[in-house]
Structure 1
Amino acid sequence: MTNKKQRLASVDALRGFDMFWIIGGEALFAPLLALTGWSLFAFGHEQMQHSQWHGFRFYDLIFPLFIFLSGVTLGIANKSLQGLPLENRWPVYRKAIKRLLILIGLGIVYNHGWGSGIPADLSEIRYASVLARIGFAWFFAAMIVWHFGPRAQYAIAAAILLGYWLLQVGFGPLTPADSVNSWLDQCCLPGITYLNRPYDPEGLLSTLPSIVNALVGVFAGRWLRQKAGQHTNILVGLAAGGLACLLVGLLWHRVYPINKELWTGSFVLITSACSLLLLALFYLLVDRWQWRYFNYFFAVIGCNAILVYLGTSLVNWQYSSNSLFGGIAAALPDAAGTLVIACGVLLLQWLVLRWLYRREIFISP
């Protein structure tokens, strides 16, 4: 296996780890807490809930980590379109636009966004979505990477964060009803918002700083490429970058709160820090120490991450798990039965993904 493939394997494994919590991993802590009473599981269950407004929990990391990983693949590819004639660039643009439109469309499908039925009422569709934000963040990061050098990319990332900060704090208080995000979504976002809030957590303005999460991934991917085979240098670089982002993010939090709903700049830095540190950890486990079974378990999930995400909305895995394991669960105490069903949900999805993985069927936009 070449170094490039090994790096991609660690990225797939980390992507699988990220999606593991989406497909049902978050549901394990509550029954484990009920069975054992251990405070560790109480902490884990708390971390599996999104922060209500200001603050940060582990579950807030899942979304930006996926965006970060999309940037890592851009950095590893190291593609540049600078100096190429339009006829050579256009096929790349067309493919990028197609990917963006597919993700926007799949996001609407995920949201069950057909309004009150067919024919669809366009004003009742939720166009903003997690998949759309992933698409926009990747698309604009790709355009920046393809048309600017590394120094300019760093400058653009810094300008986005500083400009977004000045815009938010200059407009008014960072509250759900009074933020500039709410004003812009009510003014310009078509359709409805999530739970009919004044703002949409995947709305227009907060998509802008998410581009920086992808760009930090680009910087990490470029570092992996440049230092290929130099394990110590790779680990030190990723860890140093993560700790630097963590320090700056925590200091910035004092005047600019960490907030996932508004995707504040401090939230970008904290999530980028965690993403870099996790990538360092997975690089150590998968590429340096060659933990084959660890890698395989998560890579099976990570190689079809978009399909996994769609499946959580379109397939009732809970019903399937109850059908297969409900008899066992009913014979056990409530907490143990709940744990059996939760493990069944994970097992069924993993087996389907393993079937695809073994046949090298990888579905991506």
Structure 2
Amino acid sequence: MSDTNKKAKKRLASLDALRGFDMFWILGGEKIFAALFVLTGWAGWKVAEAQTLHSQWHGFTFYDLIFPLFIFLSGVAMGLAPKRIDHLPFVERKPIYIKAFKRLLLLCSFGVLYNHGWGTGVPLNPEEIRFASVLGRIAIAWFVAAMLVWHTSFRTQMFTLVGILIGYWVWLCFIPVPGGVAGDLSSGGAGTWNAWFDTNLLPGITYQNKPMDPEGILSSVPAIANALFGVIAGRYIKQAQERGEWKTAGILFAAGLVALACGWLWDMVFPVNKDLWTSSFVMVTVGWSFILLAVFYAVVDLLNQQRAAYLFVIIGANSIVIYLASSLVNWEFVSKSVFGGVIAAVPAPWQPLFAVFALLAVQLLVLHWLYKRKILISV
């Protein structure tokens, strides 16, 4: 195997590991801190648990990072293998376009399915369906970023990125909403452009029937910037051999610190807010994304610790499948069916922690089985 192929393989493992780390907190990892608090009574675990809950409105917790990090990583994958196809004859580009459109439609459809998991199923009445979704936003951000990578120069992509962030800030803060005012970002978002778009243009229902959907129309635009920042990171790693791999990891880490500083400075005039997906929120999440990518790149790729990251790798390799299953499969019922006797046998303070480990174990066993048989389901 050539050195080039080896590097590509390592980078894929690094991306899978970070993607798996991201997904780990959705699968049940977020319950560990609450269980540890029950076991030890240490107040520090309550502080950690607070980071596994979404911000109520303005502000940021690490749980807010899960969604944008996934989008960022989709951009990293594109940046590792950037390709311009606009010079090709249309007959050669057509299969690529068809595949991209299929991925867009499949992810949006899976998002609708996820939204209505654990209920009575997707309603037959379109007006009762929630069309906006996490997977839908991932699909849109990836698709637009892919079109830019395939058809424009890197310079154009950077101008687009900056234009999105500044344009979104200007739109939300300085342009009056029809029948309202400019810059009303008060709790709930009823007076925002986001609510206006979702009320007038978004079909079906919004999340919890709120005035605006956290995965609604307008807030999907700045999410494209998360993917484009990922493209920058991927392109930089691709050129690591030229400047030194450890230097690359260090620069990625430093870039994350700079992005964090920019995000929190911007927060003074444009608050960090996940539901609105503000430009300052983009910068804060991109900052942490760069930092985590640098750490995982150093540990998994440069220190060759793929085995240590194995549990995260198997999650990341089938991330879409296990995410969808988290809405459609009653994993708690399965874990209690398998490990219920063990959980009941341990002392009461230990039971919540054992229950969390059991919940994670049944999912990881399925993912391990898929990975060992090279069943890697992607969209």
- TM-score of the superposed pair, with normalisation by structure 1: 0.97
- Pairing partner for 2:39 from 10, 32, 35: 35
Are residue 121 (structure 1) and residue 135 (structure 2) matched? no
The one-letter amino acid paired with 1:80 is R
Segment of structure 1 superposing worse, 38-47 or 282-291: 38-47
Report the secondary structure of 2:307's partner residue. Answer: helix
Unaligned 5+ runs, structure 1: none
- Pairing partner for 1:188 from 197, 201, 204: 201
Aligned-pair CA distance for 1:333 = 3.8
Aligned-pair CA distance for 1:46 = 0.6
Partner of 1:174: 185
Are residue 103 (structure 1) and residue 97 (structure 2) matched? no
Q: 1:265 to 1:87 in 2, by over 3 A?
A: same
Aligned-pair CA distance for 1:118 = 7.8
Partner of 2:69: 65
Match runs of 1:213-228 below 5 Å: 213-228=226-241
Match runs of 1:245-284 below 5 Å: 245-284=259-298
- RMSD value over aligned CA atoms? 1.6
Runs of 4+ in 1 over 4 A off after TM superposition: 113-119
How far, CA to CA, are the matches of 1:77 and 1:167 in structure 2?
Answer: 34
Aligned-pair CA distance for 1:296 = 1.4
Partner of 1:316: 330
Q: Contact 1:114–1:120 at 8 Å: present in 2 too?
A: no
How far, CA to CA, are the matches of 2:376 and 2:117 in structure 1?
Answer: 26
Unaligned 5+ runs, structure 2: 177-181
The one-letter amino acid paired with 1:267 is F
How far, CA to CA, are the matches of 1:85 and 1:73 in structure 2?
Answer: 25
Report the secondary structure of 1:51's partner residue. Answer: coil
Q: 1:118 to 1:347 in 2, by over 3 A?
A: closer
Report the secondary structure of 1:263's partner residue. Answer: coil
Aligned-pair CA distance for 1:37 = 2.1
- Pairing partner for 2:315 from 301, 324, 335: 301
Report the secondary structure of 1:302's partner residue. Answer: helix
Q: Contact 2:263–2:280 at 8 Å: present in 1 too?
A: yes
Aligned-pair CA distance for 1:82 = 2.8
Q: 1:23 to 1:221 in 2, by over 3 A?
A: same
Segment of structure 1 superposing worse, 37-46 or 63-72: 37-46
- Encode CA deviations 1:19-73: one digit per residue, 9 max, x unaligned: 0001010011101011112233222101000000000000000000000000000
Are residue 140 (structure 1) and residue 144 (structure 2) matched? yes
Aligned residues: 365
Q: Contact 2:142–2:224 at 8 Å: present in 1 too?
A: yes
Segment of structure 1 superposing worse, 131-140 or 40-49: 40-49
Q: Contact 1:137–1:214 at 8 Å: present in 2 too?
A: yes
Are residue 131 (structure 1) and residue 135 (structure 2) matched? yes
- Pairing partner for 1:82 from 69, 80, 86: 86
Q: 1:293 to 1:29 in 2, by over 3 A?
A: same
Segment of structure 1 superposing worse, 1-10 or 262-271: 1-10
The one-letter amino acid paired with 1:66 is F
Segment of structure 1 superposing worse, 309-318 or 326-335: 326-335
Aligned-pair CA distance for 1:142 = 0.4
Are residue 290 (structure 1) and residue 304 (structure 2) matched? yes
Q: Contact 1:113–1:127 at 8 Å: present in 2 too?
A: no
Q: 1:311 to 1:114 in 2, by over 3 A?
A: closer
- Encode CA deviations 1:270-306: one digit per residue, 9 max, x unaligned: 0000000000000111111122322212101100000
- Pairing partner for 2:59 from 37, 45, 55: 55
How far, CA to CA, are the matches of 2:257 and 2:304 in structure 1?
Answer: 25
The one-letter amino acid paired with 1:329 is I
How far, CA to CA, are the matches of 2:273 and 2:165 in structure 1?
Answer: 14
Are residue 210 (structure 1) and residue 204 (structure 2) matched? no
Are residue 243 (structure 1) and residue 254 (structure 2) matched? no
